[in-house]
């Protein structure tokens, strides 16, 4: 695959797009169990950034699987391919000058490291939403844990499939202990230097 392709170089660069948009662009990756609060945090962070005039886009696991990745299963190989494709899309959007927020379980360290390699270390911020399995299962906002316990869902992360917690996440947030408002404040404080907002 790709042996007969040659990467084209164009005149407009990421730096030029950042200059036009008056802020930096990068990927904020939220990882954690189902029900941990990834999408909720990403949504509130995007609202806060939007209010500041920052160009953003939120990539969410469920939404992506209804379109771009609807051909993939939840077996390990397809889950890795799901994450790889999202990484490539995020990379294009970061290059376009957009702050990308991605909310995905992404249970395997290798897959998350692959994302880091795709977008570049300087463009990757990892947030581990470390809310406990017990709390996530008590919430069961989508009813998935109940189905997994009944054996109706196979390879369900945290129940019948593993979750490899990040070892060096940039931020760790437990939504059982930290309010959404406080979590967003912490994330904004961390990413503001990378935004490099200018008039």
Using the predicted structure, report yes or no on whether residue 1 has a pLDDT greater than 60.
Answer: no
- Mean pLDDT, rounded, for 54-65: 94
Given this model, what pLDDT does residue 9 score?
Answer: 84
Given this model, what pLDDT does residue 155 score?
Answer: 85
Domain-embedded: residue 115: yes
Domain-embedded: residue 7: no
Percentage of the chain lying above the pLDDT 90 cut:
83
Given this model, what pLDDT does residue 8 score?
Answer: 85
Given this model, what pLDDT does residue 141 score?
Answer: 83
Domain-embedded: residue 8: no
The CATH number given to whatever domain includes residue 152 is 3.40.50.300
**86-96, pLDDT tens digit by residue?**
999 999 999 99
Rounded Cα distance, 74 and 14, in Å? 34
**94-107, pLDDT tens digit by residue?**
999 999 999 999 99
Please name the residue that has the structure tokens 């939403």. 129
| Partner residues linked to 99 by β-bridges | 56
3-state secondary structure of 183: helix
Domain-embedded: residue 47: yes
How many structural domains comprise the chain? 1
Cβ count near 104 (within 10 Å): 26
Given this model, what pLDDT does residue 2 score?
Answer: 60
Given this model, what pLDDT does residue 75 score?
Answer: 84
Domain-embedded: residue 43: yes
Using the predicted structure, report yes or no on whether residue 80 has a pLDDT greater than 90.
Answer: yes
Residue 161 structure tokens: 């499939």
Domain of residue 64: give its range. Answer: 24-191
**122-165, pLDDT tens digit by residue?**
999 999 999 999 999 999 888 999 999 988 998 899 998 999 99
Using the predicted structure, report yes or no on whether residue 20 has a pLDDT greater than 60.
Answer: yes
Q: What's the order of all strands across the beta sheet hosting 27-31?
A: 56-60, 99-103, 27-31, 124-129, 171-173
Domain-embedded: residue 14: no
Domain-embedded: residue 108: yes
Domain-embedded: residue 166: yes
DSSP string, 54-83: --EEEEEHHHHHTTTTTT--SSHHHHHHHH
Given this model, what pLDDT does residue 23 score?
Answer: 97
| Partner residues linked to 173 by β-bridges | 129
Instruction: Work out the mean pLDDT of the chain and round it to a whole number.
Output: 94
């Amino acid at each position: 695959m790709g042996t007969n392709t040659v990467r084209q170089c164009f005149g407009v660069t990421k730096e030029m797009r950042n200059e036009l948009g008056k802020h930096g662009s990068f990927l904020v990756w939220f990882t954690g169990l189902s029900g941990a609060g990834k999408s909720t945090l990403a949504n509130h962070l995007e609202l806060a950034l939007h209010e500041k005039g920052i160009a953003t886009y939120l990539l969410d696991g469920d939404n992506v699987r209804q379109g771009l990745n609807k051909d993939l299963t939840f077996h390990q190989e397809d889950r890795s391919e799901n994450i790889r494709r999202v990484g490539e899309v995020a990379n294009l959007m970061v290059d376009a000058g957009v702050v990308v927020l991605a909310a995905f379980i992404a249970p395997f360290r290798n897959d998350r490291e692959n994302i880091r390699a795709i977008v570049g270390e300087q463009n990757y911020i990892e947030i581990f939403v470390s809310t406990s399995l017990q709390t996530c299962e008590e919430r069961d906002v989508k009813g998935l844990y109940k189905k997994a316990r009944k054996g109706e869902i196979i390879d369900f992360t945290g129940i019948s499939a593993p979750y490899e917690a990040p070892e060096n996440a940039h931020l760790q947030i437990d939504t059982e202990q930290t309010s959404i408002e406080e979590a967003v404040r912490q994330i904004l404080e961390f990413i503001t230097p990378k935004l490099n907002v200018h008039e």
